[in-house]
């Protein structure tokens, strides 16, 4: 019997959430005022949770490391948010969204959680519209939808290429209403550096005020960690510079199991890197695959001619181009899921067909979409004799309305006009499906400590579908956590305020101060970035898009070496009791250096290919799926939840078996 109890409610899957909500304990309004809840992180999950909990009457303290809760990295999500509204009447339903998400996750997610996600998805859109989120609309005034990868219906709601921004500003506005009322106390420029556990329950956090450097104690009856994913373990990713795993890693070290760390999403459409100075990578939304066609030249001579500038991509005729996704996956074409698209790009580039100087780029081409839209627009405008140029002009206008900000972003970074020449793209680390293990109530293995949004592991299995991260963040924050947390807090009404002068708070503060003092006193010779880049290189080379046993073992050794070197030779100028950006980074990278090793260990133990985790040893050898990733349900149909034992290399594995009662386990095919 596993120590993990997922607490999945009994009953048919479609009734689980309703029944659970009906039976769950609730706290009466007068008592809610006496209960404190800490929320760490103010992205979609944290912001939505903080606002909802405060509306319900709890006394909320919210923390973010940025200068305002509005800056959390959810803001950078571009393409859209899924919801089973079936406004397009294309056969969508809660079941279909559930099915697509489980299949897209390569059957490594928890059915009950995913069903609930699909079930509340429609409420999210209603809620956001009520808040004044300006989603894209059709001329009739109703909401518009678009398609995303891995699905055959159009269920994605969007606000140009800035959906995350608009949704986050919606959650931020809901927070502001509560901050104005004094129901949320907001701590900007604060970073959580430890969780305080008293009598086995999460009772508060230790946070550093990033302006003054002072170490603060904050107590609460429950702690919600919604601090996002850990993609920055790769140094280069589409995450924000400050995105970090510290809050999640600290609760892990205090008893929260870390699940499936090796499930990482490498997003197929990012702007390729240009040099060693590169500080981050920029995503080009997956929504572009609605209209963009991905290709490389068929012939090696053309590849070389393009690289050397002798030929331009537009010089190549249709039959000189290899639209490899359309060729390999005729059913889904350019809209295959992200993991499949990324591996296919890598396959072409490894074979030598990469189209830029580094050999790591493929084309994303809008020429045919511009033609198609241009012709449509000419018809609508009654311009039967429109010239070729006029059609292109009209088509470009349509594309601009859909993706204008993305095209502008691309042009500013690359200095090429994507309306005229195809974009160059390459996969980059984008999202982490793995994260803190939680039960159906989103509680971690520390009682009273919850994890929401990208920080938890629960819904996306081994691969997340596009436009589902926003859905999950808001579902957790608005519609799941506010209910489930009541079940726990109902037993806390007699507890009274949690004192911060207990021995547990003393000890946690002492630990945090100890780590900071140690870091400041290394007084070595190398910057934090030096070590972070080294870690990132090992992660990308050995634990990236394709992994094998030898490389993973090597990665563990190398990461340990980098970690030792870090603690011996790090240099942090300045003092700890002031604003010190290098110290902030050092604390985060110290955690990445541990997490990275567990990541590699998890990837090594999972000797199967599933979703974003591709093991070279596990591929289909024949049949229609030849060369595709091979899952091993007999041996790996479980969640790997790791328990901290003092050393990331020695972490203890616990398994939560995944049951598939409502969806038949089968090989994922997008052919």
Partner 1 sequence: MSEKGMNLTLKIWRQKNATSKGKIETYKVADISEHMSFLEMMDVLNEQLINEGQEPIAFDHDCREGICGMCSLHINGEAHGPDRGVTTCQLHMRMFNDGDTIYIEPFRAKAFPVIKDLIIDRTAFDRIQHAGGFVSVNTSGNTQDANALPIPKADADKAFDAATCIGCGACVASCKNASAMLYVSAKVSQFSLLPQGKVEAKDRVLNMVEQMDKEGFGNCTNTGACEVECPKGISLENIARMNSEYLKASITKEA
Q: Is 573 exposed, middle or buried (0-12, 13-18, 19+ CB in 10 A)?
A: exposed
Is residue 55 a contact residue for partner 1 (CB under 8 A)? yes
107 vs 450, beta carbon nearer partner 1: 450
Rounded to whole angstroms, the Cα distance separating 315 from 294 reads 16
Residues 6+ apart with CB under 8 A from 124: 81, 83, 471, 474, 475, 478, 479
Least distance from C-beta 53 to partner 1, angstroms? 9
Q: Apex CA 194: angle with CA 188 and CA 199, to 5°?
A: 125
126 vs 506, beta carbon nearer partner 1: 126
Rounded to whole angstroms, the Cα distance separating 228 from 400 reads 31
Rounded to whole angstroms, the Cα distance separating 216 from 569 reads 28
Strands 59-63 and 36-40: parallel
Measured between alpha carbons, how far is residue 116 from residues 7, 312, 452 in Å?
A: 14, 49, 14
Q: Edge-to-edge strands of the sheet including 59-63?
A: 184-187, 59-63, 36-40, 222-225, 449-451
Nearest to 536 by CA among 254, 239, 191: 239
- Residue 539: CA count within 13 A, CB half-sphere: 31
DSSP secondary structure code for residue 570 in this structure: B
Least distance from C-beta 297 to partner 1, angstroms? 19
Least distance from C-beta 62 to partner 1, angstroms? 12
Residues from 522 through 561 that contact partner 1 (CB under 8 A): 525, 527, 529
157 vs 263, beta carbon nearer partner 1: 157
Least distance from C-beta 413 to partner 1, angstroms? 7
Least distance from C-beta 154 to partner 1, angstroms? 15
Token pair 């609605």 is found at 290
Can you read off the two tokens belonging to residue 122? 């429609």
30 vs 130, beta carbon nearer partner 1: 130
Least distance from C-beta 533 to partner 1, angstroms? 10
Nearest to 648 by CA among 577, 536, 562: 562
Region binding partner 1 by CB under 8 A among candidate stretches 24-32, 201-209, 236-244, 463-471: 236-244
Options 373, 478, 505, 599; binder of partner 1; rule CB under 8 A: 478
Among 71, 96, 217, 338, which one carries the catalytic annotation?
A: 338
- Taking a C-beta distance cutoff of 8 angstroms, is the pair 353, 347 a contact? no
Is residue 118 a contact residue for partner 1 (CB under 8 A)? no
Is residue 383 a contact residue for partner 1 (CB under 8 A)? no
Least distance from C-beta 247 to partner 1, angstroms? 16
334 vs 441, beta carbon nearer partner 1: 441
Is residue 398 a contact residue for partner 1 (CB under 8 A)? no
Strand (E) or helix (H) holding 126: helix 111-131
Residue 38, SS3 per DSSP: strand
DSSP secondary structure code for residue 319 in this structure: G
Residues 6+ apart with CB under 8 A from 97: 82, 83, 84, 118, 121, 155
Residues from 120 through 179 that contact partner 1 (CB under 8 A): 120, 123, 125-132, 134-143, 159-160, 162, 165-166, 169, 172-174, 176-177, 179
278 vs 561, beta carbon nearer partner 1: 278
Query: Could you give the string, one character per residue 406-425, with x where binding to partner 1 holds by CB under 8 A and - elsewhere?
Result: --xx--xx-x----------
Strands 293-297 and 321-322: antiparallel
Is residue 450 a contact residue for partner 1 (CB under 8 A)? no
Options 5, 67, 491, 650; binder of partner 1; rule CB under 8 A: 67
Least distance from C-beta 384 to partner 1, angstroms? 26
Least distance from C-beta 223 to partner 1, angstroms? 20
164 vs 435, beta carbon nearer partner 1: 164
Rounded to whole angstroms, the Cα distance separating 250 from 246 reads 6
* 338 has catalytic annotation: yes
Rounded to whole angstroms, the Cα distance separating 438 from 291 reads 37
Residues from 591 through 650 that contact partner 1 (CB under 8 A): none
Q: Apex CA 666: angle with CA 660 and CA 671, to 5°?
A: 140
42 vs 334, beta carbon nearer partner 1: 42
Phi/psi at 450 (5° precision): -115, 155
Nearest to 294 by CA among 263, 328, 264, 262: 328
17 vs 148, beta carbon nearer partner 1: 17
Options 277, 384, 661, 664; binder of partner 1; rule CB under 8 A: 277
52 vs 265, beta carbon nearer partner 1: 52
Options 215, 222, 283, 589; binder of partner 1; rule CB under 8 A: 283
Query: Could you give the string, one character per residue 489-528, with x where binding to partner 1 holds by CB under 8 A and - elsewhere?
Result: ------------------------------------x-x-
393 vs 411, beta carbon nearer partner 1: 411
Nearest to 526 by CA among 536, 517, 534: 534
Is residue 308 a contact residue for partner 1 (CB under 8 A)? no
Options 47, 149, 482, 544; binder of partner 1; rule CB under 8 A: 482
Options 16, 32, 85, 96; binder of partner 1; rule CB under 8 A: 85
Least distance from C-beta 163 to partner 1, angstroms? 11
Rounded to whole angstroms, the Cα distance separating 44 from 70 reads 10
Least distance from C-beta 327 to partner 1, angstroms? 31
Is residue 3 a contact residue for partner 1 (CB under 8 A)? no
Options 2, 278, 299, 368; binder of partner 1; rule CB under 8 A: 278
Number of residues this chain uses to bind partner 1 (CB under 8 A): 82
Options 253, 390, 571, 655; binder of partner 1; rule CB under 8 A: 571
Query: Could you give the string, one character per residue 184-213, with x where binding to partner 1 holds by CB under 8 A and - elsewhere?
Result: --x-x----------------------x--
Strand (E) or helix (H) holding 347: helix 338-350
363 vs 478, beta carbon nearer partner 1: 478
Strand blocks (E) in 293-411 = 293-297, 321-322, 362-365
Residues from 343 through 382 that contact partner 1 (CB under 8 A): none
Strand (E) or helix (H) holding 34: none
Please state, as a whole number, how many other Cβ atoms lie within 10 Å of the Cβ of residue 416: 13
Can you read off the two tokens belonging to residue 80? 């859209």
Is residue 565 a contact residue for partner 1 (CB under 8 A)? no
Region binding partner 1 by CB under 8 A among candidate stretches 8-16, 229-237, 405-413, 600-608: 405-413
Region binding partner 1 by CB under 8 A among candidate stretches 90-98, 559-567, 576-584, 628-636: 576-584
DSSP secondary structure code for residue 526 in this structure: B
Measured between alpha carbons, how far is residue 478 from residues 443, 615, 644 in Å?
A: 16, 37, 31
Catalytically active residues are 338
């Amino acid at each position: 019997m596993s120590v993990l109890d997922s607490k999945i409610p009994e009953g048919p899957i479609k009734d689980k959430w309703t029944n659970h909500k009906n039976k769950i304990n609730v706290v009466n309004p007068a008592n809610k005022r006496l209960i404190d809840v800490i929320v760490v992180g103010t992205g979609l999950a944290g912001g939505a949770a903080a606002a909802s909990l405060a509306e319900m009457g709890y006394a909320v303290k919210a923390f973010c490391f940025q200068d305002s809760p509005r800056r959390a990295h959810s803001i950078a999500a571009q393409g859209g948010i899924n919801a089973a509204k079936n406004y397009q009447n294309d056969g969508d339903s809660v079941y279909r969204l559930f099915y697509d998400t489980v299949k897209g996750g390569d059957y490594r997610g928890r059915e009950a959680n995913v069903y609930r996600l699909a079930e509340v998805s429609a409420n999210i859109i209603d809620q956001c519209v009520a808040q004044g989120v300006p989603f894209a609309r059709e001329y009739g005034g109703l909401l518009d939808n678009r398609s995303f990868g891995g699905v055959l219906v159009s269920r994605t709601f969007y606000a140009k290429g800035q959906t995350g921004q608009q949704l986050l500003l919606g959650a931020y506005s809901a927070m502001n209403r509560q901050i104005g009322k004094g129901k949320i106390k907001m701590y900007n420029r604060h970073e959580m550096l430890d969780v305080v556990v008293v009598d086995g329950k999460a009772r508060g956090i230790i946070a550093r005020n990033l302006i003054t450097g002072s170490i603060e104690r904050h107590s609460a009856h429950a702690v919600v960690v919604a601090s996002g994913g850990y993609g920055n373990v790769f140094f280069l990713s589409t995450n924000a510079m400050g995105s970090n795993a510290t809050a999640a890693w600290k609760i892990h070290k205090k008893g929260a199991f870390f699940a499936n760390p090796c499930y990482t999403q490498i997003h197929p459409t990012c702007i390729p890197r240009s040099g060693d100075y590169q500080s981050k990578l920029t995503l080009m939304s997956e929504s572009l695959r609605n209209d963009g066609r991905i290709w490389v030249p068929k012939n090696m001579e053309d590849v070389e001619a393009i690289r050397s500038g002798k030929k331009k991509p537009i010089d190549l005729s249709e039959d000189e181009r290899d639209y490899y996704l359309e060729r390999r996956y005729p059913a889904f074409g350019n809209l295959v899921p992200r993991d499949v698209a990324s591996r296919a790009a890598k396959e072409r580039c490894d074979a030598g067909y990469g189209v830029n100087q580094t050999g790591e780029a493929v084309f994303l081409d809008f020429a045919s979409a511009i033609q198609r839209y241009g012709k449509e627009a000419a018809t609508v405008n009654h311009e039967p004799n429109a010239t070729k140029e006029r059609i292109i002009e009209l088509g470009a206008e349509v594309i601009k309305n859909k993706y204008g900000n993305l095209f502008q972003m691309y042009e500013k970074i690359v200095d090429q006009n994507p309306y005229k020449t195809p974009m160059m793209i390459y996969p980059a680390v984008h999202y982490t499906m793995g994260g803190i293990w939680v039960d159906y109530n989103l509680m971690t293995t520390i009682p009273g400590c919850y994890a929401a949004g990208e920080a938890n592991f629960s819904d996306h299995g081994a691969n997340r579908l596009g436009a589902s991260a926003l859905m999950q963040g808001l579902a957790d924050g608005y519609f799941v956590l506010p209910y489930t947390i009541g079940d726990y807090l109902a037993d806390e009404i007699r507890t009274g305020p949690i004192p911060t002068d207990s021995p547990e708070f003393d000890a946690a503060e002492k630990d945090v101060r100890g780590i900071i003092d140690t870091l400041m006193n290394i007084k070595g010779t190398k910057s934090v970035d030096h070590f972070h880049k080294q870690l990132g290189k090992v992660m990308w080379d050995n634990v990236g898009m394709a992994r094998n046993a030898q490389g993973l073992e090597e990665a563990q050794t190398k990461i340990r070496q980098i970690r030792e070197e870090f603690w011996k030779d790090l240099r942090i100028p300045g003092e700890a009791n002031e604003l010190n950006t290098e110290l902030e980074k050092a604390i985060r990278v110290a955690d990445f250096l541990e997490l990275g090793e567990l990541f590699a260990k998890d990837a090594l133990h999972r000797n199967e290919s599933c979703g974003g985790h591709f093991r070279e040893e596990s591929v289909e050898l024949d049949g229609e799926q030849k060369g595709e990733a091979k899952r091993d349900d007999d041996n790996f149909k479980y969640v790997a939840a790791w328990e901290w034992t003092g050393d990331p290399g020695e972490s203890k594995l616990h398994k939560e078996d995944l049951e598939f009662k409502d969806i038949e386990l089968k090989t994922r095919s997008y052919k």
